[in-house]
Amino acid sequence: MSGRHIGSAHGAREGAHARRLRGPDTRTSRVTITVVGALLGILAIGQLNAQAGAPTLAGLSASDLTQLIANLTTGNDQLRAEVADLDGQRADLENAHARGETTVDQLQADLDRIRAWAGLTAVTGEGIAIVIRGPIGGDAVEDLVNELRNAGAEAIAVDGVRVVLGIVVAGAPGALSVENHPIGETFEIRAIGSPQILTGTLTRTGGVVAQVTASYPDAQVTVTPAEQLTLPATERSLIPAHGQPRL
């Protein structure tokens, strides 16, 4: 009995030694390695995506996501309208080509639209006038302009200077300028767009007007809807001198 016991103990030791040589339970090890490998793969992909700058929405709150969805929905509606418009232009051009006709009117209409949008021609329409009285910095004016763009302003002018690509209002309070044009302590920002949306966006509680007046308490900012505004064309050349078209 004792011998069997010893024997069986010896046999158990031999078995354990054999398992050590073969490794721990092979099936369990394979499963573990598979799981670890799968985890590694998932994490590595996640890490690569993060490093590639892929937009990650995981850091946004429900409120931020709702705002993002509203922005994307509005933006996509506008893009769809643009696609439909461009598709119509393309079809008209193809039909004209098929008939062997010229398309002067369409070319001219396209040119007028692009020039108006880019600020190369004067434009008119409804919108808002923002009057600023008192010293504010260029950063505050740029914040107002940025918010006007965000609210869908189609054309903006600061103190009579059309704001186009590359134009920045800069300077300390009392020393503002735009395009080498000095701006006094009382001036007007005009924007063409929906008067309701522009006014509502700027003057909402905690909105940009509230922020600007909090940062510059000596300044007054008033926003007034306007039925018709006329904004001048830019005097700046927007044709790149150093950049070349890439076809």
Partner 1 sequence: MSSMLTRLRRLPTVQVTLAIALLVLGFVVAAQVAGEKPRSQYTTQERAPLIDSALRLQSAQEALKGQIVDLRRRIGDLEAENPGAADSLRQLYADLEAARLAAGLIPISGPGLAFRLEDGGAGGGVDAIVSAQDVRFLVQQLWLAGAEGISVNGERLAGTSAVIDIGGSILVNSAYLAPPYEIRAVGPADLYDRLRGSVAFIGFVQGRIERSGISLTVAVRDAIDLPAYAGTINLRYAAPAPSSAP
Q: Does 214 bind partner 1 (CB under 8 A)?
A: no
The Cα–Cα gap between 72 and 213 comes to: 30
Q: Which of 219, 237, 227, 225 lies closest to 183, judged by CA? A: 219
**Which one of the spans 8-16, 187-195, 216-224 is the region binding partner 1 (CB under 8 A)?**
187-195
Q: Does 243 bind partner 1 (CB under 8 A)?
A: yes
Q: Which is nearer to partner 1, 23 or 217 (CB)?
A: 23
Q: Does 203 bind partner 1 (CB under 8 A)?
A: no
φ/ψ (deg, to 5) at 240: -60, 135
The Cα–Cα gap between 149 and 151 comes to: 5
Please select the residue that binds partner 1; options are 22, 186, 204, 218, rule is CB under 8 A: 22
The Cα–Cα gap between 158 and 169 comes to: 8
Q: Taking the complex as a whole, how short is the minimal distance between the CB of residue 177 and partner 1, in angstroms?
A: 11
Q: How many residues sit close enough to partner 1 to count as binding (CB under 8 A)?
A: 114
Per the CB < 8 A criterion, the answer to whether 68 and 60 are in contact is yes
Q: Does 59 bind partner 1 (CB under 8 A)?
A: yes
Residue with tokens 């395009």: 179
Q: Which is nearer to partner 1, 8 or 124 (CB)?
A: 124
Task: Count other C-beta atoms under 10 Å from residue 194's C-beta.
Answer: 17
**Which one of the spans 4-12, 164-172, 182-190, 217-225 is the region binding partner 1 (CB under 8 A)?**
164-172
Q: Does 206 bind partner 1 (CB under 8 A)?
A: no
